Amino acid sequence: MDARHAILFEPVRIGPKTLPNRFYQVPHASGFGSAKPRTQAAFRAVKAEGGWGGVCVEYAPISQDSDEIPAIGADIWDDRDARALGVSAEAIHAHGALAGLELYHGGWSSPNGSSRAVRLAPSQLTSQLQWGGLAKEMDSADIARVQRDWVGAARRARDVGFDIVYVYGAHGYLMTQFLSAHANRRTDGYGGSLANRGRFWLETLAAVRDAVGGDCAIATRIAVHGDSGVPGAEGLPGIHIDDMLALVKMADDLVDLWDVTVGSWPEDSGTSRYYPEGHERPWAHRVKEVTAKPVVSVGRYSSPDLMAEVIRSGAVDLIGSARQAIADPFLPRKITEGRLDEIRECTGSNVCILREETFNHVGCVQNATAGEEYRRGWHPESFPAAADTGRSVLIVGAGPAGMECAVVLGKRGFTAVHLVEAEPEIGGRLRWARRLPTLGNWGRIIDWRAVQLARLPGVQVITGRRLAAADVLEYGADLVVIATGSAWRGDGVQPGYPDPMPGADPGLPHVLTPEQACAGKRPPGPRVVVYDTDGYYVAPGVAELLAAEGFEVTVITTFSVLSPVSDQTLEGDMLRAHLHRAGVSVSHATTITGIGAGSVTGHDRHGEPWSAACDAIVLVTQQVSQGTLYTELADGQALAAAGISGLYRIGDAVAPRMISEAIFDGHRLAREIDAEDPAQPSPYRRERADPA
C-alpha cells in the first residue's frame, strides 16, 4: 500500500463501537429490503469482504404508516422483519465490519401502498409527492406513537445484531418536514422557531439513545443546503446551511455519527454528467465546524489520493460511498494491496438507481455481479475455473458485451481467447458515446476493461480486422461468440411505424445517423432537427454537440418530456436545463413521418398535421442488431466441419439494449459457457415468502 493512503485505514470510534477503517458504505436502497433477506445479506456482505469497515442496509420503515410499497424498504415493523434483516448483520460481521440500519419514516412521502394507512405530516399541506388525498396533520398522540415506533425498531435492530442505528432525517422525509418552515406550519411546541421545529427530531434522538445507546452507535442522516436546497416541502425552499449547523449544535450530544447529505436527492446522488467527483465538499464539510463527532459524507470518490486528502483536511472522518461501493465492493482491499489500476471506477451514470427504482433490483453498468451475489452465486473478484481451459474462443466484436465476455473468460483461466474488433479501437458504441458532451466518465467502462484485457495472458486483443463468415470458419476456434453490436437505423423506422420513412436515406447529405454525426458528417445548412424516439442520452448528446458548433438545433421528441429515461437516473431536470442553456430548443409529443429537402412533416399529439423547416435531420429512432455474421454462420454442418462446437451471440447482436444489460449478457455467457446450453441463461435462485 502507498503510505499516503495509510490514513484511510485508521480505526474510528463511534459511540460504543469502533469502525476498523474509514471506509463506510452509507445506507442506500437495493430493492431487496427485508423481503429478500438472503439476497440482501449477500449483497452487503461482499462489501464487508472487500474491506468496507461499515456497511449499512437501506432505509427501514418503522411502522405501517411509513410503508414504501410499491418501492421496497427494509421493513422493521415486527420481530419477524428484524430476524430477516439480522441475516445481513450476521453476514457483515463475518468479515469484520460494523452493520448499520437506517430507521425511517417518510411522513407525507410514504405512499402506504400496501398498508393503506393515512399519511402523516407536521402540517396538512399539498405536496407534489402526494396524490389520492392529503396527509393527516400529526397530533400529540401521533408524535408520541411514532417516537415509540422508532424506539421499538431500534431495540429490534440491536437485538438482531446491528451496531449502528439511524434516526433518518434527510431527503425531505418526516424529520426534514418538521425542520422546514415551509412544510411545518404548526403553532404548538413543534412549530415556529428553529428550536421548536427541531424538537421532534431531538426528542426522537434522545429516546433512541436512551433505549439502545449503550449498545449501538446512534447515527443521524441530515441534509445541508446545496445548490438545489433542502426540499423540506417538494418544490419549496428548505433549510439554510446556517440553520442546519445550529440544529447540529443542539443535537450533538445525542449523536455518535453525523451522516451528511447535500441538497435534494438528484444533487446528493449527482450524475457524472453534471457533478464532478467530490462535488459535495463545499457544503458537507461545513458540518465539522460545529461538531467534534465523526462525520461521513459521500462524493462518488474513486481516487484514493482524493480520499486521503479529504481525510487529512479534517473536514470529514469517514469516506462515505453508495455508488462506488456498488461498482467496486473491493475498493478498500485493492488500495491496501496496491492494486490501484484494478479499481473499477463508478461511471456516475446512475444506472444502479434506475434499476433499483424501476425494477426493484439493483444493478450496475460497471459491475455485472451487483445484485447477483445470492441468486446467481456471482462474486466480483472470484471466477470459477473453466472445465476445459484449453478450448480456444473467438469473440467477434469488442463492444461492451464482447469486452466483458473476454475479461471473464480470461479470469476463468481460458488460455486462448481472441477478441477481434473491426474498428481501430475497442469500445463499440462507447467509442463515440464517450465523446459526446458530458459523457466522458462513461468511458471508464472501456478503460477498466482495457486494463483488465492487457493483464490477462490468455486473452489477445486484435483491432482493425473485420471478419467475414469464411474467416470465422477458417480461424480455428473451438467456440465462437458473436458480439457485433447494433447500429442506429437510417431509414426512419420507429415505434409504431415499421416501414421506412419517406425521404429517410443516410446517403443523402441532409439525413444523418448518430454514428455519422459523431464521425464528422455535418448538415449542409444551419437548421438541424434531432428526432428522438429513444428517450435517453443519444439525442440530447448529439444535439448539444451540434449546438456547440453553432448549428440551430431543435430536438423533436415523441415523448411528453425530453429524455424520460433520464428522470430514472435523477438527471432529467438537469439535462433539460443544461440543453436550454446550450441553446437547444425542444418540441414534445410530436411524430415525424416524412423528410423533404428543406423540411420535415408529421403530426402532433392530437394527430393534427405538423411541419417544420430544417436543413438536416439526425434520426435517433431505432437501433437494429448487426446480426448478419451470426446468421451466415448458423449452419450446423459448416460449424462442425470447421471444428466449432459452439456458436453464441451476446449483447446488442441479440437485441439492442442498455449498455448495462449488454455487459450483463456478456458476463453471463462467460460464466455459464460450460453449461449444457450456454445460449440459455441458467435458472437462478428466487427467494419465496415463507408460507407459515
Please calculate the CA angle 336-52-159 and round it to the nearest 5 degrees. Answer: 145
Is 59:168 a contact under the CB 8 Å cutoff? yes
Check 59, 173, 190, 374 and give the catalytic one. 173
Is 669:393 a contact under the CB 8 Å cutoff? no
Q: How many CB atoms lie within 10 A of CB 275?
A: 22
Query: What are the CB-based long-range contacts (under 8 Å, 24+) for 450-456?
Result: 450/403, 450/426, 451/341, 451/342, 452/342, 452/407, 452/410, 452/411, 453/403, 453/406, 453/407, 453/410, 453/419, 453/426, 456/406, 456/407, 456/410, 456/411, 456/417
CA distance 114 to 131: 15
Res. 689: pLDDT tops 80: no
H-type alpha helices, 30-139: 37-49, 79-93
How many CA atoms within 13 Å lie on the side-chain side of 402?
Answer: 33
CA distance 321 to 97: 15
Q: Which three cell numbers stand for residue 591?
A: 411524430
Give residue 232's pLDDT: 52
Q: Which three cell numbers stand for residue 651?
A: 449483447
pLDDT digits over 600-657, tens only? Answer: 999 999 999 999 999 999 999 999 999 999 999 998 899 999 999 999 999 999 999 9
CA dihedral 637, 640, 641, 643 (to 10 degrees): 160
Res. 599: pLDDT tops 50: yes
Q: Which three-class secondary structure state does DSSP give residue 452?
A: helix
pLDDT digits over 21-57, tens only? Answer: 999 999 999 999 999 999 999 999 999 999 999 999 9
Report strand pairing: 616-620 vs 511-512.
Answer: parallel
Q: Which three cell numbers stand for residue 46?
A: 461482499
Is 460:415 a contact under the CB 8 Å cutoff? no
pTM of the model: 0.95
Res. 235: pLDDT tops 70: no
Is 512:518 a contact under the CB 8 Å cutoff? no
Give residue 166's pLDDT: 97
User: What Cα–Cα distance (Å) separates residue 247 from each residue in 122, 195, 198, 280?
Assistant: 18, 8, 7, 20
Q: Which three cell numbers stand for residue 366?
A: 460497471
- Mean pLDDT over the full length of the chain: 94
Q: Which three cell numbers stand for residue 228?
A: 438545489
Q: Which three cell numbers stand for residue 495?
A: 415505434
- The amino acid that residue 492 corresponds to is G
The residue extents of the domains of the chain are 3-336+350-359, 393-485+626-672, 489-623
The CATH number of the domain covering residues in 489-623: 3.50.50.60
Res. 236: pLDDT tops 60: no
The CATH number of the domain covering residues in 3-336+350-359: 3.20.20.70
Report strand pairing: 318-321 vs 393-396.
Answer: unpaired
Going by CATH, does the domain composed of 393-485+626-672 fall within 3.40.630.10?
A: no
- Residue 500 pLDDT grade (very low, low, confident, very high; cuts 50, 70, 90): very high
Length of the chain in terms of residues written: 692
Known active-site residue 173: yes
